[in-house]
Amino acid sequence: MANNLRRRSFLGSAAGAAALTAAPRILRGQGTKIRLGYIGMGRRGRSTLRGALQQPKIEVTAFSEIFQPNIDRAKELLPDAKHYPDFRDLLADSEIDAVCICTPDHWHAYMCIEACKAGKDVYVEKPISVTIHEGQMMVQAAKKYGQIIQVGTQQRSGDHFQQAVSMIHDGVLGDISFVRTWNYSNQFPQGIGNPPDSDPPEGFDWDMWLGPAPDRPFNKNRFGYDPNAFSHFRWFWDYAGGMMTDWGIHLLDIVLWAMKVDGPNAVVCVGDKYVLSDNRETPDTIQATFEFSDFACTYENRIGNAESMFDKRYGILFHGTNGTLFVDRRGWEITPEIQRLPGGSMQRMGAASGESGNDSTAAHWADFVKAIQTREQPICDIETGHRSTVLALLGNIALRSRQRVDWDPASETTQNSEAATYLRREYRDPWKLEL
């Protein structure tokens, strides 16, 4: 209870402003099970399932999946759950109270909105959408139908992230003028390879997998299944946004939270495929700079060199006038600035650090359960998740449009004509995004 109260105090006015006024569909008693349906049982789906199954009040009663190897693994984990080949049948099941959406990104918005229309609460993986318009529709759907939506940016439920954010809110670092975020790795030279287009696996419905995305020939990498890695669909613009939206959103989400801002005033971004020879579309090297009213923030990703110069392949650095705070999923560390003492000598005060003390995925699910029961908003409600997704999407929009994108975070509009063409997309028939 103490950790939960402390976490809530960290949110401050930004989260309060994001709270939705959802009317309860069912006010559950303390002993009532929440019947959960899973949509998407790939590697990420099975990973999040671990956190869901740790919740005594959750019973996973059904799942939807169309790829046979994933179906087989799901049945091993959920032997008593009903399998729905078509997710629409799962959403129509009146015995299901809530759903978890762990599909490729291009399905998130449609499935989330349809779940809200079906009267179900939603746990949806990040990024919530592949366009800003989709995210706006998801926010509207949560309000219209009164559903709880938890976005899977589980770092917000990590106790050491909450500690780091609290210290920033308390002014420990002084005035922060610059924040750096990054992911580095080395997949040179072949990356994910260059498989040719081919027929889909026998019995696999490729047209259903594509759904609202453009009609394309089947390609092993577009589908993305890899038993040793997270699916490669992430590296194609039709379905996702590369590392910017796959990993960068986790880091940028913490920046928005810590700095108490809703969005940037402008974004510039450069990058391309410079070194890899695979068939991915998203860049192997990218640097985005986000300009806010009082500070600048960068996101960097490169997958042709993993060296960060201080043995940190990903993370966040908050640079303040009093010191610098580094945080990743293992913990946080503050390095104070050198202070000038009377007489002209210099002195650096002692550093401070803290480690992760909880399972953030399990804690995120526990927060979702509490929100379903109380009808209070979860720690990463849909408006909060939308703002973080917008920030990452803007980085890609600036890259693809080759423009500096001036942005109004209140109205979520830009006057840059080329950039504006990336704010929404048309759905392939017969799929339609409708409230």
Pair (375, 334) in one structural domain:
no
CA distance 435 to 425: 16
pLDDT tens-digit series, residues 361-377: 999 999 999 999 999 99
8 Å CB contact between 432 and 425: no
In a domain, 68, yes or no: yes
Q: How large is the average pLDDT for residues 253-257? A: 98
Counting the structural domains of the chain, the total is 2
Pair (267, 411) in one structural domain:
yes
CA distance 146 to 140: 10
CB atoms within 10 A of CB 326: 18
What's 172's domain CATH number?
A: 3.30.360.10
DSSP one-letter code for 232: G
Pair (305, 370) in one structural domain:
no
3-class secondary structure, 123: strand
User: pLDDT value at position 347?
Assistant: 61
In a domain, 314, yes or no: yes
> Who's near 127: CB < 8 A, 6+ residues apart?
105, 108, 240, 241, 245, 246, 249, 388, 389, 392, 393
pLDDT tens-digit series, residues 135-163: 999 999 999 999 999 999 999 999 999 99
Pair (110, 227) in one structural domain:
no
Q: Which domain holds residue 409?
A: 164-357+390-416
Return the structure tokens found at 28: 């559950």
CA angle 422, 388, 404 (to 5 degrees): 45
pLDDT tens-digit series, residues 288-323: 999 999 999 999 999 999 999 999 999 999 999 999
The residue among 246, 186, 196, 185 whose CA lies nearest residue 221 is: 196
Q: How large is the average pLDDT for residues 97-114? A: 98
In a domain, 308, yes or no: yes
CA distance 60 to 24: 21
> Who's near 343: CB < 8 A, 6+ residues apart?
none
Please, what sign has the CA dihedral across residues 151, 170, 262, 127?
negative
Pair (171, 140) in one structural domain:
no
In a domain, 424, yes or no: no
In a domain, 431, yes or no: no
In a domain, 430, yes or no: no
